Structure formats: structure tokens, C-alpha cells
Amino acid sequence: VSPQLLNALETKLKVILNGNITRIKRLPALVRGAEVDRYWPTADGRLVEYDMDQIVYEEDSAYQNIKILHSQQYGNVLILDNDLNLAESDLAYTQAIMGSGRENYAGKEVLILGGGDGGILFEMVKQKPKMITIVYIDQKVIDACKKYMRGTCGNILDNLKGDCYQILVEDCVPVLKKYVQEGKTFDYVINDLTAIPISTQPEEDSTWEFLRLILDLSIKVLHPSGKYFTQGNAETLTEALSLYEEQLGKLSCPVAFSKEVTCVPSYLEQYPFIGSKVFLYANVTELIYKNIFCISHLLFWFAYIHKQNNAKMFYILLSSDRQK
């Protein structure tokens, strides 16, 4: 039914009922049977409607279902296993997980876990780091983004190696373990692998164990003055986020948190950032970093290890802004 017809009907009802209508609210009809599914649930179970109008690409890899849909507002949108990951509009996501402009990557060694869409790599090479190493398991995602997500990655995925970057198409866990054995360290580790689990039963969700494993290995490959960033889940998942904080308490070092928020356009819900401080040694007497900042639609983390008087201080800044 056209909006014009509905407007005419609304006007006629007001006339027939002699102006006794105190409130009229029209809701759009559900679009059923379309080639492209426009309806996606938020993390807390609400239904939102996107303007997806075309399936640009779809394929099953050995690891996941890969879809790229077109949105009139957000450009092409990467969806992995029916989970909206990133749209071409979502530069805010990339900026957030890189530290929102507060970091200087020039001349630094950076390890990115995940990041197969190329967005972080494309933005980071502009700062002329010494070397960026990306470890991502799925070549098909890289190939799809190289062709259909150029608004995010530009031409950076055209080659797996460049003057200041290399992309390793491998499982990150054995790569991290190898780096630990070799004693290799990085100035920054950016974990763009997965979100905080939405399960409230951590003992039934192997993702919790995976997150702890990645965090532990990442800490081991961080330079003593290094920083760690990661992403998480929706701000509305308060119980799962609380359980996540409990999981962090099971790490080899104690963690304290503070929170903040930002907005990634295509996510359509807020994700808090949690600032946390992790003490790797017990004799730390001074807190250096107390800033709380805000991103959103993903739980992003920032970790900072600071050496002082033979002690190390490790701060994690957890941020959240996304339904990932």
C-alpha cells in the first residue's frame, strides 16, 4: 500500500470520526518473500529492518558462510554466518579498535588477529608502521572483501605482502604459540577475531575458553610497553558482559574495569568500552592511566603495559560498540 493511500485513509478517518481520534500511529508492513532478508535481530532480541536490496556475493568456505549484501545507506555489508560484521560505512569501528586517533603507529611492530576485511590494515599503513602482520584463517573472506568491500579496504588486499605489511592465511593460535616460543614481541596487538560470547553459561560455551587463550597468548607477545585492543558485544547484554568480567578474573593477573561508548553506523545498537587495569606483578604502587573513553557497538579493549621500578603495569581498555 502506498504512503499516499495511507495518508488519504488517515485523513478520511479523522473526518468520519469528527476529529475524535486522539492518536494515530502507522507502522510499515513487513516485507515478506524478498530475495534479500531485511530483518535482523539485535543482540537483546529486538527486530530491526535494514535497507538491504541485493545479494552481492555468497559462498561457503571451509570455516563459515560468507555473504556480502548491499545496503543503500551503509554500502556493501560483510556478514559471516549470518552475523553482521562490518559495512563500508563503518570507519568508526576501525578507528575505535585502533585507539580512536590516540595512538602513533609510525615505526611500530603491529600484530592483527583477524581483520580479514582489510579495514584496519588499510587505515594503519597510512601511519607508516615498521611492519604489520595480519593472521587470518579464511582466504575466501579476503578474496571477497578484496573485490566487493573496497570502500573498506581500498586496494590493500590486492597483495598479501607489501612494504610494511604481510598477511598470513593461517590459524592464529599456532602462530601466536610460535611467536611466544621465539620470544617475538609486538608494540601493538589488535584482536579483531570475535565478540564477547552472548551465552550466560560460560561452562557450556567454548568461546570463553578461546577468548582467555587468545588474551593470554597476546599478553605474552606484547612488548613491555605494548598495547592491546579488541572488540566485544552489545551494551544491552549486561549479564553476559558481567560474566565476561568474571572470566577476566580467571586470568593470571587481576583486572579492574571502566566503561565507555561509541557508535558504529550499521550496528544500530550501543556497545560499551570497558577500561581495565591489569597488574602483572603485585608490587605496583601507582596507577598511570585513568582515562575512560568512549566508542560503541563493540566491546573494544585497550591494554597498556608500563615498566616502572622493575614492575610492570598492564591496562586493558575494554570498549564496547557493537553486535558482533
Q: What is the distance between the alpha carbons of residues 280 and 263, in angstroms, rounded to a whole number? A: 32
CA 144 to chain centre: 19
Q: What is the DSSP letter of 275?
A: E
Nearest CA to 287 out of 254, 242, 320 is that of: 254
Angle at Cα 234 formed by Cα 198 and Cα 65, nearest 5°?
Answer: 60
| Of 117, 187, 192, 321, catalytic | 192
Nearest CA to 303 out of 284, 277, 321, 281 is that of: 277
Q: Please state the length of the chain.
A: 324
202 half-sphere exposure, CB direction, 13 A CA radius: 17
Query: Partners of 65 in the beta sheet?
Result: 60
- Tell me how far CA of residue 97 lies from CA of 83, 187, 266, 297, 318, in angstroms: 19, 15, 16, 11, 10
- Tell me whether residue 163 is one of the annotated catalytic residues: no
Question: Is-contact 162 129, C-beta < 8 A?
Answer: no
Give the catalytic positions in this structure: 192
